[in-house]
């Protein structure tokens, strides 16, 4: 009750926000446009660098062969070798009756082992 009598005595109109800011915030909000910027999270750019460079037992040999043969030809040969190895894994899975999920797991295991040994350097 005391607050209403003070407001009535001073001629004050409006709420607390009007007393603090000096203006009616509702009217001010209607006048000013609101811009909200929504952006996607920033992702790190993929690096086109071989993370396996110099790791593994066979890495030095792979690097030497790549430098002798050339990158383009080396990548072609490596692609053919990987494809042949995947075919061998597929034939093995067919012969033992493994399903496609198990076959995919074996191919992933071969890739991990190739990285550890340095074949993908």
Using CB atoms within 10 A of its CB, is residue 120 exposed (0-12), middle (13-18) or buried (19+)? buried
Q: According to the model, what pLDDT value does residue 92 have?
A: 92
Per-residue pLDDT of the chain (121 residues; tens, 9 = 90+): 555 555 555 555 555 554 555 556 666 666 666 666 667 767 766 655 555 566 789 999 999 999 999 999 999 999 999 999 999 999 999 999 989 899 999 989 998 999 999 888 7
Spatial distance between the Cα atoms of 105 and 88, rounded to a whole number of angstroms: 14
| C-beta of residue 55 within 8 angstroms of C-beta of residue 120 | no
DSSP 119: T
Q: Report H helices in 44-119.
A: 59-69, 71-96, 100-117
Put residue 27 in one of left, alpha, beta given phi > 0 → left and psi -120 to 50 → alpha: alpha
Tell me, yes or no, if the pTM score tops 0.85: no
Q: According to the model, what pLDDT value does residue 79 have?
A: 92
Q: According to the model, what pLDDT value does residue 108 have?
A: 92
């Amino acid at each position: 009750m005391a607050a209403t009598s003070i407001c009535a005595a001073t001629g004050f109109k409006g709420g607390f926000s009007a007393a603090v800011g000096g203006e009616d915030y509702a009217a001010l909000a209607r006048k000013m446009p609101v811009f909200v910027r929504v952006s996607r999270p920033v992702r790190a750019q993929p690096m086109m660098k071989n993370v396996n460079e110099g790791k593994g037992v066979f890495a030095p040999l792979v690097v030497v062969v790549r430098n002798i043969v050339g990158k383009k030809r080396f990548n072609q040969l490596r692609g053919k070798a990987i494809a042949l190895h995947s075919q061998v894994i597929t034939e093995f899975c067919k012969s033992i009756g493994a399903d496609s999920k198990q076959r995919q797991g074996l191919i992933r295991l071969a890739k991990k082992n190739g990285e550890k040994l340095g074949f993908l350097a």
